Amino acid sequence: MKNSSRTKVFLVEDDRNFGSVLKAYLEIHDFEVEWESEGGRAIQRFLNLACDICVLDVMLPGLDGFSIAREIRKAKPDMPFVFLTAKTLKSDILEGFNIGAEDYITKPFDSEVLVAKLKAIVNRVNRTFSLEAERPVESYSVGEFTYHTAHRLLSRPGFEQRLSPTEGKLLELLCENKNKLLTRSTALKVIWQNDNYFTTRTMDVYITKLRKYLKEDISIEIENLHSSGFILWVKE
């Protein structure tokens, strides 16, 4: 009988030998794993199950992992996912993060590190949801934009953008420090619980996405102060 308290992973991996070994390893470490080997079936399978996190290969028959991730974001914007792939080009890694991946892990990898990362991501997402449930409805004014924290909705006349939990928390931190320095160390420790090189690169991707959302208002600028951090400048 499966333990319902286990973290539920949706694994999409076409290599049957590797997939079966990874599934067994994750299950030994208290994960419950649903495994799909065909990219073309992955979306329908995902829609018919409840999971906490998705682990996606990129090179798949039928539909590639990047396309699957985009469909997952459309169907369930809050669903965290990571890529686990042999594609190591910088352009592929950046595409993965731009789609919204929590991490991009290249093969070969350390299985213990993978387990630790999956647990950390799920714990972080769960903490975000807990904080959102506890706090009252609140909003931030950012130039012409309003950010509604309860629904993670960034809006202005004619524009609405639902943010991911990580995007939302980062924007909140910037708003709370509007026109002041938000140090990299503070943001990384609050959101990712560590400040190593890889999470620093991940945060840079999320800053780029926030800049894209806010670019229509010329009174807003997110300035990068090299290794120090970021300032959300809003001209009143």
What is the distance in angstroms between the CA of the first residue and the CA of the last residue of the chain? 59
Share of the chain above pLDDT 70, in %: 91
Would the pLDDT of 9 be above 50? Answer: yes
Question: Could you give the strand order of the β-sheet that contains 139-142, starting from the edge strand earlier in sequence?
Answer: 139-142, 145-148, 153-156, 159-162
Helix (H, G, I), strand (E, B) or coil at 117: helix
Given this model, what pLDDT does residue 3 score? 46
With cut-offs at 50, 70 and 90, classify the pLDDT of residue 197: low
Residues facing residue 78 across a β-bridge:
none
Query: If residue 154 lies in a helix (H) or strand (E), which one and from where to where?
Result: strand 153-156
Given this model, what pLDDT does residue 210 score? 96
Q: What is the pLDDT of residues 64-95, one digit of tens each?
A: 999 999 999 888 877 899 999 999 999 999 89
Given this model, what pLDDT does residue 236 score? 73
Given this model, what pLDDT does residue 130 score? 56
Amino acid, single-letter form, for residue 12: V
Q: Which residue has the higher pLDDT, 213 or 133?
A: 213
Torsion sign, CA atoms 113, 194, 130, 149: negative
What are the structure tokens assigned to 186, written together? Answer: 């503070």
Given this model, what pLDDT does residue 225 score? 85
Given this model, what pLDDT does residue 5 score? 72
| Reported pTM | 0.62
β-strand pairing of 103-106 with 139-142: unpaired
Kindly report the average pLDDT of the chain as a whole number: 87
Query: If residue 25 lies in a helix (H) or strand (E), which one and from where to where?
Result: helix 16-28
Would the pLDDT of 227 be above 80? Answer: no
- What domains can you pick out in the chain, each with its CATH number? 7-131 (3.40.50.2300), 135-234 (1.10.10.10)
Q: What is the pLDDT of residues 172-190, one digit of tens each?
A: 999 988 999 898 888 887 8
- Rounded to 5 degrees, what are φ and ψ at 87? -80, 110
Q: Which residue has the higher pLDDT, 199 or 168?
A: 168
Given this model, what pLDDT does residue 195 score? 62
Alpha carbons 169 and 160: distance in angstroms, whole number: 17
CB 168 within 8 A of CB 152: yes
Would the pLDDT of 205 be above 60? Answer: yes
Q: What is the pLDDT of residues 126-161, one digit of tens each?
A: 766 555 555 554 789 999 999 998 889 999 999 999
Selection from 231, 225, 221, 224 nearest residue 181 by Cα: 231
Would the pLDDT of 120 be above 80? Answer: yes
